[in-house]
Structure 1
Amino acid sequence: MSKPLGVILAGGQATRMGGGDKGLLTLGGETLLSRVQARLAAQVDGIALNANGDPARFAAFGLPVLPDSIDGFPGPLAGVLAGLDWAAEQGADTIVTVAADTPFFPTDLVEQLTNAATGMTHPLVLAATPRGAEKTKSMSKSGLIRHPTFGLWPVALRDDLRAALQDGISKVVIWTEQHDGREAVFSTETGDPFFNVNTPEDLATAKAMI
């Protein structure tokens, strides 16, 4: 069975970093984006980058750059849709998305997401981790913390997603729950595998982690 295609989501505005592209920040002599690209490449059959603005700033990475097709920065679902449209052009059935600011995501991400989708007509799975003391808006009914930028998405539902975005739905879990999306649970015993760099303090933490 062929692997999914991979899409790196970098379409956000990075407001907590003061704007700009978080993926181009340097961590241990490499950009966050290059670390994410290398980690994802071994798990998928091809990679594209979802980003808005001038694509030339990403030329060094050698990736197709996919802008949002929905105006107004509606969130990661717009990046997912861009990825699904690109994958449809490639003849692929599914994509896996990752965030450009999360350099330590699991090396078995795609495997676990795919395993969790067994038996689904339309494979739709979000990564999740066990809940600690914290509470977040992305918590599922089962008490897990969902990571909505890390997921397995079916090309077959791209027009449904487009219609949802045009109707104003921007929250990932609202749409995935409408389609009985599942969760793949990843261990946090050695730390949060979905730690992401949102602030300068987070970047300092990431430098300590490597």
Structure 2
Amino acid sequence: MSAPPGVILAGGLATRMGGGDKCLLPLRSGTLLDAVIARAAPQMGALALNANGDPARFDDYGLPVLPDSIGGYPGPLAGVLAGLDWAVEQGADRIVTVAADTPFFPTDLVARLQAASAGQTHPLVLAATPRGGEVTKSMKGGLIRHPTFGLWPVALRDDLRAALRDGLKKVVLWTDRHDGRLAEFPVNGFDPFFNINTPDDLTEAEALT
């Protein structure tokens, strides 16, 4: 199975980080986005970035910049839709998405997502990890779902567009509606889906590098 195109989701408002482009914050000798690209590129085909506003600020990365086609910042599903519309131009039947603020996601992300989709008419899979002591709204079957890390079918893009226009924002409501599956990833030492939301998180990420 060929590597699907990948879309890096960076269309949020980053309010807990004070606004701006969280993915351009420094990490190691580069930026958060550099770290995410380094993880994504070996696993995926063509790469694109979902971001809103002036795309010129990402010129140095050489990636197509895909704005949300649904206004009002409705959340990551709008970025998924932008990626699915772009994938049609690539001749692809699916995409994988990753979050731009999560620099340590698994190096076998795509392989596990695709394996979990075996037998599905429309490949739709979210990444998940075993829960710790906490109970969250993202849980299902004892697993914590990571809704910005998923495998998405181009065939359902118009259904997703209609759902967003009807006001749907929560990713798992839409994936559950279409019998989405979960791909479980182990947590060895720290959560590979640790995402950077605050300045303290960024400090912690530096310590993990």
Scaled by the length of structure 2, the TM-score of the pair is: 0.99
Structure 1 distance, partners of 2:156, 2:4, is 15
Match of 2:157, SS? helix
- How many residue pairs end up in the alignment? 209
Structure 1 distance, partners of 2:107, 2:76, is 22
Partner of 2:148: 149
**Counterpart AA for 1:144:** L
Structure 2 distance, partners of 1:60, 1:189, is 34
Structure 2 distance, partners of 1:15, 1:159, is 30
Partner of 2:182: 183
Structure 2 distance, partners of 1:43, 1:190, is 23
Structure 1 distance, partners of 2:190, 2:117, is 25
Match of 2:38, SS? helix
**Counterpart AA for 2:190:** G
Structure 1 distance, partners of 2:91, 2:43, is 18
Kindly provide the CA deviation profile for residues 130-155 of structure 1, in whole angstroms up to 9, marking residues without a partner as x. Answer: 01101212111x02100000000000
1:199: Cα distance to partner? 0.1
Structure 2 distance, partners of 1:18, 1:164, is 30
Structure 1 distance, partners of 2:91, 2:103, is 28
**Counterpart AA for 2:148:** T
Partner of 1:7: 7
Partner of 1:160: 159
Structure 2 distance, partners of 1:39, 1:189, is 18
**Counterpart AA for 1:23:** C
**Counterpart AA for 1:50:** N
2:98 is the counterpart of 1:85: no
1:3: Cα distance to partner? 1.2
Name the % identity: 74
Structure 2 distance, partners of 1:53, 1:209, is 31
Structure 2 distance, partners of 1:6, 1:19, is 25
1:94-133 equivalences in 2 (<5 Å): 94-133=94-133
Unaligned runs of 5+ in 1: none
**Counterpart AA for 1:196:** N
> Which segment drifts farther, 149-158 or 130-139?
130-139
RMSD between aligned alpha carbons? 0.6
Moved over 2 A (4+): none
**Counterpart AA for 1:88:** V
Structure 2 distance, partners of 1:30, 1:125, is 31
Kindly provide the CA deviation profile for residues 5-31 of structure 1, in whole angstroms up to 9, marking residues without a partner as x. Answer: 000000000000000011000111110
Kindly provide the CA deviation profile for residues 90-142 of structure 1, in whole angstroms up to 9, marking residues without a partner as x. Answer: 110110000000000000000000000000000000000001101212111x0
